[in-house]
Every structure is written in C-alpha cells, then in structure tokens.
Amino acid sequence: MVLSHADILDGRGAVVEMDGSLDSFTSPDFEAYIDKLLSKNILFILFDATNMTYASSEGIGLLLFLEKRISETNGFFMIFNLSDEMRTLFGVLEFDKYLHMAPSRAEALRDAERRLGMQKTGGREEAGTVRAPAAADQPPVGSGPLFEERDTHGGTVVECTQCGSPVRVFNDAAYLCPHCCAEFRIVNRRIEPKRGESGRPDFGTLVIECAQCKSLVRVKKSGAYRCPDCNAPFTVSPDQSVVF
C-alpha cells in the first residue's frame, strides 16, 4: 500500500490517495496516516479511492469509524472515485447511509468548500467544542490525567491511555476503549490504565450499531461494553454475537 496526500482549502483539508488494498494488514497504517493529518488540524479529508483495489470488512469498518470520528470534531470525511463494484457493495450493505460519497474529485471538492464556507459564516461556537474543566472544579491530585469535558451529548470525553482516541464516559467504572480495546478505569474523575492487560483482539474488527441511539461502535474483541454516545450496555461474545 502506498499513501500520499495533497493539501487543499488553504491547508484546512487534504486529498488522500491510496494505491493498494485496505484490509487487516494495511488498515493500521491508513489510520495512522489519517491521525497525523488530524493532529495538524486538517479536518476536511477527501479520500480518493481510484486505486483502492480491495476493501475488507476491517477496511470498511475503519472508513465508517473515521467518518464518525471526524464528523464529531466538526470535520468532514468523504470518499470519491469508488469503483462501480464498491459503490454497489456499499449500497447493498447500506453503508452509504453513513459515508459521504461523491462520484468525482470535482464534486467532492465543491462539497468540502461549501461545508467549510458554512463553518466560516456560522458566527457561533460549533457543537462538540471541547473545553478544559474550570480551576475550581479540579479534583484532588492523583495518578492519571484529568478529564476533558464536552458540552454536548452528556457524559465526559477522555483520551484513551493507549491510542489517544476520544472515549465518552459517564461515571467511575471500568471501561474498554472501542477503538484499540485498551482497558482503563475512571477513579475520582481520573484515568487509570489497567495493568498487565493488552489490547490484543480475539477476532477482527466488528462494527456494531447501537440498539438504542444507532451510533456505530467498533470493537476488536469479546467482552462487556458501553456505547460511548448513549451509555447503553451490551456484550460481545467470541463468536461475534451481540446482546444489548
């Protein structure tokens, strides 16, 4: 797999090109590449799928996860130039309900420019803005990092101690990151990683639709979970059966 990108929208966006397949072997590299762009405050990402020769279930799961993650940060993720075969597959599986797709680069750029223009003329703070807790609300000094609080959806957003992905939590309890499967606990509003456990999956990536709020949750091994958006509990068995 070969990855490259070109800056667009005055550095606010990028067109990412991939030559090869998006599968269980290449998905981690693709996700790491996107993470680097996001760390540079590039939130408008257009994925050129012209030379994507194949996408496995894990690759498709990653695309769904990136769409959800980037949209939650007021960004925009779009796929364009999908092959007819892939567009048909996405339609049959109803992934087109969750993914923004365009038939050409020109149309993808027009859509991204329109959305960026809407943000610039909004004249108000965008939903999902992350703010640090006020000094008066700081808890006693402990071993783990403090919460960052988000003013929408309820709960509190923290960074996974292993992969840095945002995870919404609701109270002191044990949690499992839905992105890398790292286990951690919340104790007195502080994050404590679980010692002696690895995030090694016991099956490939599974994308689950929450039965309560319809959000997409990505898991990599069996166990007990809570939806990071609505806190609905569910379990995943080793055979990938899901019970809410």
Q: Kindly state whether residue 42 falls inside one of the protein's structural domains.
A: yes
125 assigned to some structural domain: no
Please check whether residues 146 and 182 belong to one and the same domain.
yes
- φ/ψ of residue 90, rounded to 5: -60, -35
CATH code at 101? 3.30.750.24
Q: What is the pLDDT of residues 192-202, one digit of tens each?
A: 766 554 444 56
Give how many domains the chain has, as a whole number: 2
What per-residue string of b and e applies to 47-69 under the rule 16 or more CB within 10 Å gives b?
bbbeebeebbebbbbbbbbbbbb
Q: Do both 184 and 110 map to the same domain?
A: no
126 in any annotated domain: no
Same structural domain for residues 111 and 27?
Answer: yes
CA distances from 37 to 56, 70, 71, 128 (A): 23, 11, 15, 20
Residue 175 covered by a domain: yes
For 31-80, give the DSSP string.
HHHHHHHHHTT--EEEEE-TTEEEE-HHHHHHHHHHHHHHHHTT-EEEEE
The pLDDT, as a whole number, for residue 151 is 37
For residue 81 the two structure tokens come to 């130039």
Residue 215 has what pLDDT? 74
Confidence at residue 54, expressed as pLDDT on a 0 to 100 scale: 85
Give every residue of the chain whose pLDDT is below 50, as ranges: 123-153, 197-200
Q: 157 and 113 in one domain?
A: no
Q: Is residue 78 located within the same domain as residue 147?
A: no
Identify whether residues 66 and 103 lie together within a single domain. Answer: yes
**Residue where a domain terminates, one of 68, 91, 120:** 120
Domain carrying residue 50: 2-120
Residues 116 and 149 in one domain: no
